């Protein structure tokens, strides 16, 4: 458990910042993007790379998965070799803690030499940082050399994150999509549900074989969003912030759905798996029959690690499942801005994206457009063996866009009040 | 005249009472909304109102209260009956040998072991399925995380029985067990009844504080609650830690208010216990006056032995299963053995184990060393002044073990944030020392006091200074208990969860804090690797404590065991 409010993390603040700090008048009165004189000039990329040499980049990223941590270690080695950048992965268990750090630094007037250089971020955390003006000025991500390869045409979520326009304040890093897994040795393909309603029918026909992680686990919350999108009368309300009257009306079908589901869920809804890895274990044990993840290659990954039998396969819903993009963002007060820019650019590079999509490594889908890449790289991507249980990109079905972040907060709160036992 | 050794008791008092007092203060302030730096708006009861508006709070309180008391009743009953039935027998001595490893095993490891055993997909079900049950899949039963916290209480009992038994062992020499047995036997009392009437009151007086510590721990523990406890809602302490970890800083006020509530809940549990003491003592006196002899207590004796064997056996069996999982390939229900073995899990986990392992070793060794030094200083001071630590001092030793950890560690964390020391090694060391120190003192005080002081008189007669005598005679001869102190102190540090999580703030992690974090994901293979280290470290400590004296004293016949 990483705890927030680490105000005085010991760090070597280069002297030049300290001197500047004395000369810069602090003005916290306006909110918006704070442009700083010391922001590197991205148009002159050479100079950014030069400035980044010898910097240490504190990358605050969720550290709960071994394969992701290992991938970031590789990124660190590459950056050390090519650009003499030292990448320090600050392993978070909740991205909100990194946001809280920046908030605390802003409150303490630390507008230079902050302790966070780069954050792995999306959704409500991105929305909250953008709104509070805690991010590096607009447009930087779209000026990075590797932005050219990003698939803007077919992946709208790289430009709009949970209904919030990104405006180049975060660099896309990878794609997520809700995908369901089942064990084909136990379950016939013909009986697979193809919508949330069918899933409920299936659960009622197979009591005790389906569950979801209890919110605020983000995989569990994502499932709730999927059901919300499918059951809400008018999906357009989800693109607006949730207000009182709206919320009760809009979420009523969701909670009716859950009331029915819990009666037939695993352990009759008296307990829930804690997170996705726990669901994976339950699928392996045969306690659950259908589970889901936010990464299409999770199942193939688990097969390779002996965590799941090689009879596991994936499916999605016909009308589409929830999808989004995850980004890296740079706080306005980052110490190593140049290093962070070079890191963000490297994370978007075809080489790094290719390795990331390899299920042996991580299996996280790329943000790049194949049509924008040179043919040799296209061939490399095509040659990736995504794994026996992974759906090809064209089989993943339509993307349902994320609701406005406020919906999730309200749903989680209502869920807690409704389903925590009273006495 | 002030002696330099006064430093010992002085520092110890500071170390034990300081953090508790300051920590409590640091919890009280944010609870009432007074918190420089968190944007507290001055004194208000707002956070208590918010606390009592939390869903199912009363349910969490009841869980904490009942599991604390149930754990104390059960473990004390088992220890009492077992001692009554078997004290002085070969069975009793054999059980003593198991005490060390059981005691030194972190609570988290024991909880994980038991979870692996009793879960619907666990080892017991695999053993009897499908042959006896016909189950091809795990049954849909709420065994782990059950709502009445039975599995959590079971794990706590399995861990607290060895602790209380050890404390009872220390008290036994002062109780005339054998003579009481002969006398009550001659009067026609059964073994157990005779012991309870004759010897138990004196023993219980001596282990009362340890029993309080058991109640305090069981009613406020976090790691066992996270691994085995109920989830909808969790126990109070488990919820507090969730609030404390919430990135929304205003939740810390709520957590602090909750921590004060936890203090009340544990206090209430202790009050209820004291009431029960009176009640049970009256009942016992009534039984004694009525001449209740319980001649046929065979079944009770068997029960006490079975309870001991099952609780120890469950932990060992679960750990064995965990070790298996760490080498397992695909291992599906209901197979009793994995379909293949692989080193892959170890290869993947080892590089990530290095850092927490280093922190664990460093903090464990240094805190055990400092605790040993302070303890020796205290005891030397006792010798020089001829004043034994009284009842008050004894209670002080138990203070950090009886005040629930959450209540003062929250405040300590708050103070450390304010001073910029959070998540630094010295702070983590200090936090560990608070809990290592009591065990260090408890473990050395009896061997130290029973040392034959005529050796020192001879040395003094030969004109040696007190210092020389201490370093040339006393400490070398006390090497064995000193090393046992070190091993116990080290294992206490290895097992600490909450202080590590809160003071290390996620940046300094130990094997135990990582193992609990991994427990939620249910990746049994990786958990197996961490649990292996949780077992290995204390065992290594005890191995050193056994082997080193054997090596050093191999040419000293008088020092052989």
Q: How many CB atoms lie within 10 A of CB B64?
A: 30
Query: Which of B56, B507, B523 has its CB closest to that of A421?
Result: B56
Residue A25 has pLDDT above 80, yes or no: no
pLDDT score, position B262? 97
Residue A1 has pLDDT above 70, yes or no: no
Residue A76 has pLDDT above 50, yes or no: yes
Most B-contacting residue of A3, A98, A129, A309 (CB-CB within 10 A), to test interface: A3
Q: For residue A172, give both structure tokens.
A: 């896309």
What's the length of chain A?
423
Residue B532 has pLDDT above 70, yes or no: yes
Contact at 8 Å (CB) between A196 and A257? yes
pLDDT digits (tens, 9 = 90+) for B470-485: 999 889 989 989 998 9
Superfamily (CATH H level) for A46-175+325-387? Periplasmic binding protein-like II (3.40.190.10)
| DSSP SS3 for A180 | strand
What is the Cα–Cα distance from B413 to B424, expressed in whole angstroms?
A: 12
- Residue carrying the six token digits 């009280």: B28
pLDDT digits (tens, 9 = 90+) for A314-347: 999 999 999 999 999 999 999 999 999 999 999 9
pLDDT band at B232 (very low <50, low <70, confident <90, very high): confident
**Interchain contact, A274 vs B521, CB within 8 Å:** yes
Residue A14 has pLDDT above 80, yes or no: no
- Rounded to the nearest angstrom, the minimum Cα separation between A406 and chain B is 15
- What value does the mean pLDDT of chain B take? 89
How many contacts does A have with B, using Cβ atoms within 8 A?
152
Residue A91 has pLDDT above 90, yes or no: no
**Interchain contact, B136 vs A277, CB within 8 Å:** no
pLDDT digits (tens, 9 = 90+) for B258-313: 999 999 999 999 999 999 999 999 999 898 888 888 888 889 999 999 999 999 99
Superfamily (CATH H level) for B2-31+58-326+343-559? MetI-like (1.10.3720.10)
- Residue carrying the six token digits 């050794």: B5
Residue B5 has pLDDT above 90, yes or no: no
Which class does domain A179-323+400-420 fall in? alpha beta
pLDDT score, position A65? 77
Question: Which residue would you say has higher pLDDT here, A169 or B345?
Answer: A169
Query: Which of A94, A107, A423 has its CB closest to that of B247?
Result: A94
The DSSP secondary structure of B268-335, one letter per residue, reads: HHHHHHHHHHHHHHHHHHHHHHTT------HHHHHHHHHHHHHHHHHHHHHHHHHHHHHTBSS--TT-
pLDDT score, position A18? 31
**Interchain contact, B526 vs A66, CB within 8 Å:** yes
What is the Cα–Cα distance from B76 to B210, expressed in whole angstroms?
A: 10
Average pLDDT over residues B168-180: 86
Equal CATH topology for A46-175+325-387 and A179-323+400-420: yes
SS (H, E, C) B149-211: CHHHHHHHHHHHHHHHHHHHHHHHHHCCHHHHHHHHHHCCCCHHHHHHHHCHHHHHHHHHHHH
**Interchain contact, A421 vs B147, CB within 8 Å:** yes
Residue A4 has pLDDT above 50, yes or no: no
Dihedral, B426, B491, B543, B172 alpha carbons, nearest 10: 130
Distances (CA, A) of B293 to A279, B193, B285: 55, 6, 12
Contacts of B413 in chain A (CB under 8 A): 3
Contacts of B123 in chain A (CB under 8 A): none
pLDDT score, position A394? 85
Most A-contacting residue of B247, B356, B499, B519 (CB-CB within 10 A), to test interface: B247
pLDDT digits (tens, 9 = 90+) for B381-407: 888 887 777 777 878 888 999 999 999
User: The whole model's pTM is what?
Assistant: 0.85
What is the Cα–Cα distance from A267 to A203, expressed in whole angstroms?
A: 13
- Rounded to the nearest angstrom, the minimum Cα separation between A309 and chain B is 7
**Interchain contact, A94 vs B58, CB within 8 Å:** no
Contacts of A1 in chain B (CB under 8 A): 241, 245, 501, 506, 517
pLDDT digits (tens, 9 = 90+) for B214-231: 999 999 999 999 999 998
Average pLDDT over residues B519-533: 87
**Interchain contact, B247 vs A104, CB within 8 Å:** no
Contacts of A134 in chain B (CB under 8 A): none
A37: left (phi over 0), alpha (psi -120 to 50) or beta: alpha
Contact at 8 Å (CB) between A83 and A53? yes
Q: Check whether the bond before A216 is cis (ω within 30° of 0).
A: yes
Contacts of B38 in chain A (CB under 8 A): 5
pLDDT score, position B76? 96
Q: How many CB atoms lie within 10 A of CB A246?
A: 17
Query: Which of B422, B520, B524 has its CB closest to that of A275?
Result: B520
**Interchain contact, A8 vs B420, CB within 8 Å:** yes
Q: For residue B47, give both structure tokens.
A: 């956070």
Domain range summary for chain A, segments of one domain joined by +: 46-175+325-387, 179-323+400-420
What is the Cα–Cα distance from B330 to A311, expressed in whole angstroms?
A: 12
């Amino acid at each position: 458990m990483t705890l927030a409010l680490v105000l005085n993390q010991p760090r070597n603040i280069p002297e030049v910042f300290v001197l500047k700090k004395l000369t810069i008048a602090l003005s916290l009165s306006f909110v918006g993007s704070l442009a700083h004189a010391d922001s590197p000039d991205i148009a002159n990329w050479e100079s950014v790379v030069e400035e980044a040499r010898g910097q240490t980049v504190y990358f605050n990223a969720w550290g709960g998965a071994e394969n992701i941590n290992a991938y970031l270690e590789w990124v660190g080695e590459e950056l050390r070799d090519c650009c003499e950048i030292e990448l320090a992965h600050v392993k978070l268990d909740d991205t909100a803690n990194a946001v809280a750090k920046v908030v605390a630094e802003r409150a303490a007037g630390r507008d230079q030499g902050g302790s966070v250089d780069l954050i792995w971020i999306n959704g409500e955390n991105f929305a909250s940082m953008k709104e509070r003006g805690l991010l590096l000025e607009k447009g930087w991500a779209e000026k990075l050399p590797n932005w050219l390869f990003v698939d803007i045409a077919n992946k709208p979520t790289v430009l709009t994150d949970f209904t919030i326009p990104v405006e180049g304040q975060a660099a896309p890093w990878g794609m997520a999509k809700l995908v369901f897994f089942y064990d084909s040795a136990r379950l016939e393909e013909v009986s697979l549900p193809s919508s949330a309603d069918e899933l409920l029918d299936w659960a009622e026909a197979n009591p005790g074989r389906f569950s979801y992680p209890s919110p605020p686990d983000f995989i569990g919350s994502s499932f709730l969003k999927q059901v919300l999108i499918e059951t809400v009368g008018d999906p357009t309300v989800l693109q607006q912030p949730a207000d009182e009257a709206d919320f009760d009306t809009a979420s009523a079908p969701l909670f009716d759905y859950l009331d029915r589901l819990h009666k037939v869920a695993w352990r009759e809804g008296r307990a829930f798996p804690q997170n996705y890895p726990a669901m994976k274990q339950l699928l392996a044990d045969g306690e659950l029959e259908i589970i889901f993840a936010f990464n299409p290659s999770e199942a193939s990954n688990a097969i390779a690690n002996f965590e799941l039998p090689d009879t596991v396969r994936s499916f999605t819903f016909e009308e589409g499942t929830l999808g989004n993009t995850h980004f890296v963002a740079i706080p306005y007060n980052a110490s190593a801005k140049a290093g962070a820019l070079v890191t963000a650019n490297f994370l978007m590079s075809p080489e790094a994206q290719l390795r990331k999509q390899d299920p042996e490594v991580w299996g996280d889908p790329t943000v790049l457009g194949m049509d924008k890449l040179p043919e040799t790289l296209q061939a490399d991507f095509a040659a990736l063996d995504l794994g026996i249980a992974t759906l090809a990109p064209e089989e993943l079905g339509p993307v349902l866009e994320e609701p406005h972040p406020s919906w999730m907060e309200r749903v989680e709160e209502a869920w807690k009040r409704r389903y925590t036992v009273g006495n | 005249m002030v002696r330099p050794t006064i430093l010992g008791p002085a520092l110890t008092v500071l170390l034990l009472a300081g953090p508790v007092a300051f920590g409590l203060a640091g919890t009280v302030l944010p609870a009432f909304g007074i918190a420089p730096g968190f944007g507290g708006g001055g004194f208000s009861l707002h956070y208590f109102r918010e606390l009592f508006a939390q869903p199912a709070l009363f349910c969490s309180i009841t869980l904490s209260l009942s599991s604390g008391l149930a754990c104390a009743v059960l473990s004390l009953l088992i220890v009492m009956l077992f001692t009554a039935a078997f004290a002085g027998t070969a069975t009793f001595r054999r059980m003593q040998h198991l005490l060390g490893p059981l005691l030194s095993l972190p609570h988290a490891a024991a909880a994980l072991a038991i979870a692996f055993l009793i879960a619907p997909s666990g080892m017991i079900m695999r053993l009897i399925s499908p042959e006896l049950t016909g189950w091809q899949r795990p049954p849909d039963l709420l065994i782990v995380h059950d709502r009445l916290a039975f599995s959590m209480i079971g794990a706590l009992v399995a861990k607290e029985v060895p602790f209380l038994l050890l404390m009872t062992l220390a008290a036994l020499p002062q109780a005339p067990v054998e003579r009481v047995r002969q006398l009550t036997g001659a009067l026609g009392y059964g073994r157990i009844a005779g012991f309870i009437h004759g010897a138990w009151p004196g023993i219980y007086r001596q282990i009362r504080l340890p029993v309080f510590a058991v109640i305090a721990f069981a009613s406020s523990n976090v790691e066992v609650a996270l691994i085995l406890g109920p989830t909808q809602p969790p126990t109070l302490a488990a919820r507090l830690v969730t609030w404390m970890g919430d990135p929304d800083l205003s939740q810390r006020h709520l957590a602090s208010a909750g921590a004060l509530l936890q203090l009340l809940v544990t206090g209430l549990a202790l009050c209820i216990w004291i009431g029960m003491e009176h009640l049970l003592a009256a009942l016992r006196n009534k039984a004694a006056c009525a001449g209740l002899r319980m001649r046929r207590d065979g079944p009770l004796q068997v029960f006490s032995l079975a309870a001991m064997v099952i609780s120890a056996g469950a932990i060992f069996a679960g750990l064995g299963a965990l070790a298996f999982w760490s080498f397992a390939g695909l291992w599906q229900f209901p197979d009793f053995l994995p379909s293949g073995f692989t080193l892959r899990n170890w290869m993947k986990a080892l590089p990530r184990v290095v850092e927490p392992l280093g922190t664990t070793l460093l903090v464990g060794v240094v805190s055990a060393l400092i605790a040993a030094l302070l303890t020796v200083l205290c005891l030397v001071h006792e010798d020089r002044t001829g004043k034994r630590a009284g009842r008050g001092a004894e209670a002080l030793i138990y203070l950090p073990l009886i005040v629930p950890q959450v209540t003062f560690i929250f405040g300590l964390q708050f103070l450390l944030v304010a001073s910029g020391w959070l998540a630094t090694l010295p702070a983590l060391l200090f936090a560990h020392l608070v809990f290592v120190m009591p065990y260090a003192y408890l473990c050395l005080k009896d061997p130290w006091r029973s040392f034959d002081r005529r050796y020192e008189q001879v040395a003094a007669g030969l004109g040696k200074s007190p210092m020389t005598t201490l370093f040339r005679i006393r400490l070398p001869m006390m090497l064995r208990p000193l090393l046992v102190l070190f091993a116990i102190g080290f294992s206490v540090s290895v097992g600490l969860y909450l202080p590590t999580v809160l003071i290390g703030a996620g940046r300094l992690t130990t094997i135990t804090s990582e193992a609990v974090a991994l427990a939620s994901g249910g990746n049994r293979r990786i958990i197996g690797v961490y649990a292996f280290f949780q077992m290995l470290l204390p065992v290594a400590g005890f191995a050193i404590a056994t082997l080193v004296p054997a090596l050093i004293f191999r040419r000293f016949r008088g020092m052989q065991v």
